[in-house]
Amino acid sequence: MGKKKNSLTPTTFSLLHATDFADRLLYHIVPPLKAGMIVLADRYAYTAFARDVARGVDRAWVRDLYSFAVRPDLALYFRVPIDVSLDRLMARRVKLKFYEAGLDMGWSQNAQESFRIFQGKVLDEYDRLVDEFGLRVVDASLSITDQQQMVRNLVARQLEKPALEVVNQ
Amino acid sequence: MTDQKPDNKEPAPEFGANGHIQPGRYYGHGLPYVAIEHYPGKIIAVEGTDGVGRSTQIRLLREWLEVQGYGVVETGWTRSALMQPTIELAKSSNTLNKLTFVLLYATDFADRLEKEIIPALKAGFVVLSDRYIFSALARAGVRGVDRAWLRSLYGFAIAPHLVFYLKIDVDTLIRRVLSARGMDFWESGMDLKGGDDIYDSFRSYQNKLLREYASMTDEFGFRVLDARRPIDVLQEDLRRQVQAFLASSDIAQGEDRALTETA
């Protein structure tokens, strides 16, 4: 690790993403919340909890790092087996990115193999997060229509609640 | 987002609680993927506000240590290859707020810790650190960032073996800074928008900063040095304390060091 002068370590990777998140939170998330709008976030702090811990940073440290984040009113987790996600990426001829495939960890020189090992650890962490933070699981191996129906039901139920409530803990 | 505790952890060691700090060990949760026990090198940090004379003292100390036969590696704030360009850009463009600044500085420190400090400790070097994490804690503390969160954030830092705090009063500091190079936007805390007068802002900001450093003295076991003294007198004091520490440690110097390096 750290062979190249500019390569990221698990900790600098984690901190840079937290910096980016802090910036987005302050400019793009908090203002619309204050204006009473709905913010749709494609990935949130949970991504960091899963991905950074899979890279080896401390579980409690990364949670505390993100304690400045606003807790979402509803967090959806699209769960899919590794094989399915890999097949989908391959079908779209997506070239696996260096960090996305966990190639920085040196577990395998082969991008697909590395992706499989790394994402396996990431999925294990997500499973933990489901209980810890009450993520609502959507089965992402279902058809897009079925998934969307589930999502709409969950969102509709959330919006029926008396007031939009912001929890900042 | 920590209201439900992760289940894998005993609580982190009491960061900064005096008496719990072990030099050469992580302050908090640390880097779980880097075991640093038994590394022979030592970290000597020199802290103090801008213009207090840190860099001069470190340069003199380095020369002296090298003559004694110690291997010396120097590291300083915002000098990481990874983050320096970004931080310079951020400072000039005024798009960042205090939180993103704190995180950028922490990233810079983490990069230097893993790429410079830890390898040097492993190889038995003396790491001279021009500022350590304490300047970051002081600056962010003055800007109202939660102190407990800051300490958790820097829980991956290694406690230095020695921390020298160069202490100065604000009047002496002002005369020194003005006769050297003048007052700078950030060192004057102009981002805090306390007014347009840079002199008043500098005085008020540095006063707060000095109080913040003072409050950390016991928490982190600073060795306080009176920085109002002439350069050579201060340097002599520094060398005497460093000498005493290194002599009582197991760190290699001179021919011994050459042997361990080739071994």
How open is the CA angle A36-A19-A23, to the nearest 5 degrees? 30
User: How does pLDDT run across A7-31, given as a tens digit for each residue?
Assistant: 899 999 999 999 999 999 999 999 9
Domains of chain B: 42-246 (3.40.50.300)
- Whether residue A13 lies within 8 A of chain B, CB to CB, comes out as no
Asked if B114 and A9 touch (Cβ cutoff 8 Å), the reply is yes
Nearest to B6 among A45, A63, A67 (CB): A63
Kindly determine whether residue A60 and residue B31, on different chains, have CB atoms separated by under 8 Å. Answer: no
Mean pLDDT, chain B, integer = 88
Is the pLDDT at A78 greater than 90, yes or no?
Answer: yes
The model's confidence at residue A2, banded by pLDDT at 50, 70 and 90, is: very low
Tell me how far CA of residue B109 lies from CA of A153, B102, B133, B185, in angstroms: 46, 11, 8, 22
List chain A domain ranges: 10-160
Kindly determine whether residue B155 and residue A15, on different chains, have CB atoms separated by under 8 Å. Answer: no
Q: Which residue of A has its CA nearest to B109?
A: A12
The DSSP-derived string for B232-259 is HHHHHHHHHHHHHHHHTS----HHHHHH
Asked if B180 and B51 touch (Cβ cutoff 8 Å), the reply is yes
Is the pLDDT at A94 greater than 50, yes or no?
Answer: yes
pTM: 0.87
Cβ-Cβ contacts under 8 Å for B20 (sequence gap 6 or more): B13, B14
Chain A CB contacts of B149 below 8 Å: 64, 67-68
> Comparing B78 with A81, which gets the higher pLDDT?
A81
For chain A, how many helices (H) and strands (E)? 7, 2
Q: Which listed CATH number (3.50.50.60, 3.40.50.720, 3.30.450.20, 3.40.50.300) goes with A10-160?
A: 3.40.50.300
Cβ-Cβ contacts under 8 Å for B52 (sequence gap 6 or more): B166, B168, B173, B176, B227
Cβ-Cβ contacts under 8 Å for A34 (sequence gap 6 or more): none
> Comparing B260 with B80, which gets the higher pLDDT?
B80
Asked if ipTM goes beyond 0.90, one says no
What are the residue ranges of helices labelled H in A25-162? 30-34, 45-54, 59-65, 82-91, 111-133, 144-160
Asked if B143 and B209 touch (Cβ cutoff 8 Å), the reply is no
The whole-number pLDDT of residue B263 equals 42
For residue A142, how far is the Cα from the chain centroid? 20
Percentage, residues of chain A above pLDDT 70: 92
Is the pLDDT at B81 greater than 70, yes or no?
Answer: yes
E strands, B114-184, are 126-130, 162-167
Is the pLDDT at B253 greater than 90, yes or no?
Answer: no
Pick among A14, A19, A107 to test the B interface (most B CBs inside 10 A): A19
